């Protein structure tokens, strides 16, 4: 059974000690002063009959305005009302008493019966000392026939077990009826129970009180408050027409006194502002060993540009100090997200379209670029032919070369084409004339087939001359035209070595006959840029061809004198002399 200190007009249900335990009520309100009551000034009655109680010295005690039971019984349960009155007023104080049977009391392992009376609170700084005395011990001493004894318990493991005495050590021990903390440790915090045992007229009585011990940081640490946020260089972004939140966090060391954290706008607290757009939200962020971190958030609704010019200050204070800090704001420019999204989407679509267009029409685009910005090689070199065609001398490939390649390249695309069997003059040396034709051509067009470049053939000589021209001076490029599929194992050694650096264009039969087919477009990319600027250039080209034809007969007759090499090295001079 426990007692308490009720206030006027207050009612509480008290669960107490088991039957047979002593009970002491203090019915004096904290703000009331009185003298020891005399009937009928103080009247207490039970709920069953609402009658004035009959005091029994065997079971009840009365001391001043305090009423108690030496040995509580189950019949003592009920609502008790104390009436305090004088000539001008009357006050009532109510308290409910419930006496529990011993088997109804909940207790932890090794713990005495736990009372429902609120525990006393004691704060002890770490590394410091303090003495605990059991509450109501003095009242028990006045009623006892001798000196009471006290047993202390420390509740551990989530209030389920008790450390039974002796649980102390050099830093914590019981001295007489008190519990002495010489040096407070973190493990010493928690709930402590003290059971008072005393004799009253030959009977042993006891009651239990509880004390909640809290550990706090040592008193030697600084106790002044400090501001954690905002820091000195922090800038809060603010967007127009939006909600802006300014966060302030203050650290308050343990002090048994009041503390405060607040915002001011232009030197005024929020409750004095006429603008209701400003409000605050306070909360506790952390509590550790008595030290608390508190947060106050200033909320600004519908932020306006003129709010940037206001002074926002966060302040903290306790009895040891004061600190304030100004919050800096910077307007955050609103990005046009819709416009940016649309622009980005359009850009991605355009890039995708360009990729598709380039992937599908890259040959056409390349040809268009070459036709507009490409360099006509006829103005930069002294070559006579645009293309020299090398092929295996058989009826099928010869028909393809003469009726298809030669006709399209020369008649429709305007290239000057050299074919040995057609353009060579009788009486000359095949080797010398072959080398001369290849040297005077800008491209060597090799028609690949299964019979091409057989050992000792003229086609092999033409291929070697073209590859040597590419390797030595770079003035000649070799283009491979795959007329029929040929495995790499059928290629000659020179062709295998140079394949990486050579362009390969595949003939696909009827699909490639049209001039707009992939074959002809791909071939035109590898051929020289053909740009005829005027009619006079065409006439001049024809006259030079006639002159070269005349010289060709002379070269074949005088190959032993070195005239061929001079013609290859300086053909323009020869052309001028022939003209």
**462 is annotated as an active-site residue:** yes
Q: Quote the CA–CA distance of 195 and 187 in Å, as a whole number.
A: 22
Beta partners for residue 579, in sequence order: none
3-state secondary structure 218-283: CCCCCCCCEEEECCCCCEEEECCCCCEEEEEEEEECCCCCCEEEEEEECCEEHHHCCCCCEEEEEE
Three-state DSSP class for residue 524: helix
Angle between helices 535-557 and 571-578 (to 10 degrees): 100
Q: Quote the CA–CA distance of 560 and 446 in Å, as a whole number.
A: 29
Alpha-helical regions (H) of 292-334 = none
3-state helix, strand, coil in the chain (%, to 5): 30, 30, 35
Burial 398-420 (b: 16+ CB within 10 A, else e): eebbeeebbebbeeebebbbbbb
Nearest alpha-carbon partner for 262 in 323, 321, 310: 323
**Residues 96/80, Cβ–Cβ less than 8 Å:** yes
Q: At 572, list the tokens.
A: 């323009």
**Catalytic annotation, pick one of 384, 397, 433, 462:** 462
Q: Quote the CA–CA distance of 127 and 133 in Å, as a whole number.
A: 20
Tell me, rounded to whole angstroms, the distance of Cα 187 from its chain centroid. Answer: 39
Q: Which residues form the catalytic set?
A: 462
């Amino acid at each position: 059974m426990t007692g308490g200190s009720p206030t006027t007009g207050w009612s509480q249900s008290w669960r107490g000690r088991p039957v047979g335990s002593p009970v002491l009520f203090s019915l004096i309100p904290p703000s009331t002063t009185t003298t020891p009551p005399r009937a009928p000034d103080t009247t207490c009655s039970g709920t069953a009959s609402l009658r004035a109680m009959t005091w029994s010295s065997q079971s009840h005690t009365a001391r001043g305005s305090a009423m108690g039971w030496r040995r509580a019984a189950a019949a003592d349960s009920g609502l008790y009302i104390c009436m305090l009155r004088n000539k001008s007023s009357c006050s009532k104080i109510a308290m409910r008493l419930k006496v529990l049977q011993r088997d109804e009391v909940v207790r932890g392992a090794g713990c005495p019966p736990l009372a429902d009376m609120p525990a006393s609170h004691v704060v002890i700084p770490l590394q410091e000392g303090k003495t605990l005395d059991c509450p109501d011990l003095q009242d028990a001493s006045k009623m006892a026939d001798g000196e009471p004894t006290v047993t202390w318990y420390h509740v551990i493991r989530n209030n389920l077990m008790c450390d039974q005495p002796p649980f102390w050590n050099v830093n914590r021990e019981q001295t007489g009826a008190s519990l002495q903390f010489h040096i407070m440790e973190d493990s010493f915090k928690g709930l402590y129970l003290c059971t008072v045992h005393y004799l009253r007229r030959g009977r042993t009585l006891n009651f239990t009180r509880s004390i909640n011990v809290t550990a706090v940081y040592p008193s030697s640490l600084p106790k002044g408050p400090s501001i954690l946020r905002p820091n000195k260089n922090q800038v809060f972004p603010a967007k127009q027409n939006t909600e802006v939140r300014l966060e302030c966090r203050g650290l308050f060391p343990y002090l048994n006194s009041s503390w405060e954290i607040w915002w001011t706008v232009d030197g005024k607290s929020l409750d004095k502002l006429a603008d209701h757009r400003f409000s605050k939200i306070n909360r506790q962020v952390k509590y550790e060993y008595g030290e608390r971190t508190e947060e106050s958030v200033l909320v600004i609704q519908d932020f306006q540009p003129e709010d940037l010019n206001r002074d926002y200050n966060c302040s903290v204070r306790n009895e040891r100090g004061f600190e304030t800090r100004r919050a800096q704001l910077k307007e955050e420019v609103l990005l046009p997200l819709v416009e940016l999204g649309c622009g980005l989407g359009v850009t991605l679509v355009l890039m995708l379209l360009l990729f598709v267009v380039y992937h599908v029409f890259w040959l056409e685009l390349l040809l268009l670029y070459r036709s507009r910005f490409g360099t006509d090689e006829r103005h930069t070199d002294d070559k006579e032919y645009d293309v020299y065609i090398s092929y295996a001398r058989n009826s099928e490939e010869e028909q393809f070369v003469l009726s298809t390649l030669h006709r399209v390249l020369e008649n429709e695309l305007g290239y000057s084409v050299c074919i040995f069997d057609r353009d060579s003059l009788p009486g000359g040396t095949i080797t010398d004339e072959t080398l001369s034709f290849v040297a005077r051509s800008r491209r060597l067009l090799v028609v690949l087939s299964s019979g091409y470049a057989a050992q000792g053939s003229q086609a092999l000589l033409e291929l070697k001359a073209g590859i040597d021209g590419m390797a030595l001076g770079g003035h000649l490029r070799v283009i491979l035209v795959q007329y029929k599929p040929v495995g790499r194992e059928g290629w000659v050694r020179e062709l295998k070595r140079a394949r990486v650096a050579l362009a390969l264009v595949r003939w696909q039969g009827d699909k490639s006959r049209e001039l707009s087919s992939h074959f002809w477009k791909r071939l035109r990319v590898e051929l020289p840029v053909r740009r005829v600027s005027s009619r006079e250039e065409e006439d001049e080209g024809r006259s030079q061809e006639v002159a070269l034809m005349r010289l060709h007969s002379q070269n074949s007759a005088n190959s032993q004198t070195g005239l061929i090499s001079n013609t290859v090295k300086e053909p323009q001079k020869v052309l001028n002399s022939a003209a």
